[in-house]
Amino acid sequence: MTAPAHQPPPNEPSAGVGRDGLGSNRVIASLLLSGAGLLTIVAPFLSLFVGELHSRMSRGLLSVTGWATESVSNAGRAGRSHDISSAPVGYPLLFAGALLAVAAVIGFRTPRAGTAVVRLLPAVGATFLVATVTTVGMQGIGWAGQVDAVGISTRPGAGFWLLIVAAVVAVVAALLPQPAAPIPAATPSPPIAGTPTPPS
Is there a domain that residue 101 lies in? yes
Is there a domain that residue 119 lies in? yes
Q: 2-16, 45-59, 95-109, 148-162 — which is least confidently predicted?
A: 2-16
Compute φ and ψ for 152, nearest 5 degrees. -100, 120
Calculate the alpha carbon distances from 29 to 60, 69, 101, 102 in Å. 43, 35, 11, 12
Is there a domain that residue 11 lies in? no
**pLDDT one-digit tens code per residue, 173-189:** 999 876 655 555 555 55
Contact 32, 168 (CB under 8 A): no
Range of the structural domain that residue 158 is part of: 28-73+80-175
Is there a domain that residue 13 lies in? no
What is the distance between the alpha carbons of residues 190 and 97, in angstroms, rounded to a whole number? 53
Backbone dihedral region for residue 126 (phi beyond 0: left; psi -120 to 50: alpha; all else: beta) = alpha
Is there a domain that residue 37 lies in? yes
Is there a domain that residue 8 lies in? no
Domain count, the chain: 1
Residue 16 has pLDDT above 50, yes or no: no
